[in-house]
Chains A and B, each alone.
Chain A
Amino acid sequence: MTDPVDILIIGSGASGAAFAWSMADTRMRIVCLEQGDWVKPTDYPANGRDWEARRYSDADILPNRRQHPADYPVNDTNSITKIATYNAVGGGTVHYAAHFPRLHPSDFRVRSLDGVAEDWPITYRTLEPFFTENDRMMGVAGLANDPSYPDHAYPMPPIPPGRSGTRFAQAMNRLGWHWWPSAAAIATREYEGRAPCINLGHCLPGCAQGAKASTDITYWPAAIRAGVELRTNCRVREITIGPDGMATGAIYYNRDGQEVFQPAHVVVMAANGIGTPRLLLNSVSAKFPNGLANSSGLVGRNLMLHPWPVVQGWFNDEMDGQRGPIVSLWSKQFYETDTSRGFTRGYMLQFGRGPGPVGEAQAGLESGRMPWGPGHHAAMRRYFHRRAHIGIACDDLPEEHNRIILDPTLKDSHGIPAPRIDYTVSPNTAAMMEHGIARATELMREAGAHTTTVSREVLNYPGHLLGTCRMGTNPERSVVNEWGRSHDVRNLFVIDGSVFVTGGGVNPTSTIQAIALYIAQQMKQRLHTLFD
């Protein structure tokens, strides 16, 4: 047993890092437990000639493929979308695309506006100052005054659209559609010690240049300088509870495999939409036999994963290929509800560049566009660096049967039960996906693509893990209150993507971090009445 700490944070990713930095000015003793380690930028794939191969091996986005000692397995055989996670200092921000849209105002009011799901207990306006603060801390590039949002600016100018973005922009102008340069947590100039993006290529497996804002290089250095202790290689097994029903701390395994109890006055869950409910479900006691903070039965339920069909297009002239950030533009033309489309809510179109030679050749051989034999070379040159893609980020509304539970047999390397995912696509989401595929295909043709394909079943795996401990004012319909405190355990907080009430149709990291900063501020304002 070690000395008690004031605040114990579980997870060092997007939310845990932002929260730790914000709380550091209280001068309380704050410790964060992270099951992974620091990752050195010199170890990222872009440093080597095998960069593309490593994306399918030790730098894969899927933990089941990657199989690092820091990873835990996920049984996702009962889900059409596979689960992407990353376990290291910085968490999923090390392996994300850094696409940085905010949720829209309407996303927080889906019941009031559209009669579906439930409203959030907070609004876009609640989070607005925290979006701004987070944009500054992460270093976000973008262009102000997008007409699909309330006005806001960014610290840096946007990333270049390149050949493919320009081609799509021109086509959308002809169609009369909305588009805008993507906001991205990627430095486009020197920023707070970070070098600007030099278009190394796909950003997912970590940015060797340090231009991509992962929290190991943004929030954590500032939080550690301010006195927060970050313990790596510490895998938490369970949150413990006292006779008074309050959390007493956490039991974890340290880097030597020893079991350690860390007492804490406040426990903060920041392991995101799979890790957090997994840990709560593993924390059973006489008072909470169905998992900690689970009197509602909603811990693990309402999982939202953002089904993400992709339309690929090939052009006669050269596109960007793998050169540059994955993302370039977004379109919110179909984001807001229009019931004449046959579904409620909507989706974002996310415009991306192309693969490297291995990805192109692999897709070509599998599809038959490229033959085996002498014709391979000419075919490769017809397709390589001539591809661009459109992702369709669908707002999959919460459904209780979409959930994580504990797998009865699968365990991690410490014997801790692993999560199992049950996830299906609703008819509303399926209709949305088909609409998006049709529109993206129409746009591809308008942009000049001679060949298009659709990835409908082999979906992109965005790693957006949301909704499994949602916030709300009704303890029977939510796990935490409107400022992240468990309804059941008054010194237990959830600050990550688990608290989302709905998922919106955009990448969630910006909103996850804004929520973490908002909850930190709420806690600081209530320090003397925090447990009342």
Chain B
Amino acid sequence: MSNTLANPPPSWGDPNLTDAEKRTLAAMCARMIPASDEFKVPGADDPLIQADIAKSLGRDATAVHDTLALLNRIAGGDFAALPVAKQEEACATLRAEGGMNLTLTTRIVLQCYYRDDRVMISLGMEPRPPFPKGHVLPQGDWSLLDPVRARGKIWRDA
């Protein structure tokens, strides 16, 4: 039995978003993480990040579809067409009512947002995978153990 999956099973849900869902998702992402000139980062509604999200639904496709549908219901129609203030109201309700589906949807947004080069650089990270360069950790000063050694044995002989 393989340790990888060739194709997503139907139980994960439709891996594709409709155009309407894409508009709703982008509008929601703009409210969640907007662009910032101060930190020199795009918003989560950035087209490159949105494209990454759209192909990354995976095991949580159903949760994303359901969350976007709930958001439109909360909005009373097309969430993306609402003015910003109304969108913010709808998002506040979504955060209260979205439950696990919203948690999973949010994680997909974050997974794609925080692997974007521009965002990683802004956070002080190198835009690269961990391997093969790795990271450097400060070495320890084991003389800190002197008082522990001085207190002596604490295990019970049995």
Whether B139 sits at the interface, judged by CB under 8 Å, is yes
0/1 string, B108-124, CB within 8 A of A gives 1: 00111111000110011
Whether A153 sits at the interface, judged by CB under 8 Å, is no
User: CB-CB < 8 A to A69: which residues of B?
Assistant: 1-3, 5
**Would you call B138 and A162 a contact (CB within 8 A)?**
yes
User: CB-CB < 8 A to B145: which residues of A?
Assistant: 143, 169, 179-180
**Would you call A147 and B34 a contact (CB within 8 A)?**
no
Whether A189 sits at the interface, judged by CB under 8 Å, is no
**Would you call A147 and B5 a contact (CB within 8 A)?**
no
Closest B residue by C-beta to A366:
B103
0/1 string, A55-92, CB within 8 A of B gives 1: 01110000001011110000000000000000110000
CB < 8 Å: which of A37, A39, A105 contacts B155?
Answer: A105
**Would you call A198 and B110 a contact (CB within 8 A)?**
no
**Would you call A148 and B1 a contact (CB within 8 A)?**
no
- Find residues 373-403 in chain A having any chain B CB closer than 8 Å to their own CB: 373-374, 376-378, 380-381, 384-385
The smallest C-beta distance from B68 to any residue of chain A, in angstroms, reads: 16
Interface size for A (C-beta < 8 A) is: 89
Whether B59 sits at the interface, judged by CB under 8 Å, is yes
CA distance A46 to B137 in the complex (A): 17
CA distance A28 to B92 in the complex (A): 67
- Find residues 83-118 in chain A having any chain B CB closer than 8 Å to their own CB: 87-88, 104-106, 108-109, 112-113
**Would you call B147 and A37 a contact (CB within 8 A)?**
no
The smallest C-beta distance from B93 to any residue of chain A, in angstroms, reads: 12
User: CB-CB < 8 A to B128: which residues of A?
Assistant: 49
User: CB-CB < 8 A to B158: which residues of A?
Assistant: 105-106, 108-109, 112-113, 123-124
CA distance A165 to B156 in the complex (A): 26
Whether B97 sits at the interface, judged by CB under 8 Å, is no
CB < 8 Å: which of A123, A163, A179, A361 contacts B148?
Answer: A179
0/1 string, A145-169, CB within 8 A of B gives 1: 1011110000000101111011001
Closest B residue by C-beta to A162:
B137
**Would you call B156 and A106 a contact (CB within 8 A)?**
yes
Whether A324 sits at the interface, judged by CB under 8 Å, is yes
Q: Which 3 A-B pairs have the closest CB atoms?
A: A198-B134, A323-B135, A70-B1
Report A's interface with B, CB cutoff 8 A: 35-37, 39, 43-44, 46-53, 56-58, 65, 67-70, 87-88, 104-106, 108-109, 112-113, 123-124, 143, 145, 147-150, 158, 160-163, 165-166, 169-170, 173, 176, 178-181, 197-201, 208-209, 233, 235, 255, 320, 323-324, 332-333, 335-336, 356-358, 361-362, 365-366, 372-374, 376-378, 380-381, 384-385, 413
A–B pairs, 5, beta carbons within 8 Å: A58-B4, A105-B158, A143-B142, A199-B137, A377-B38
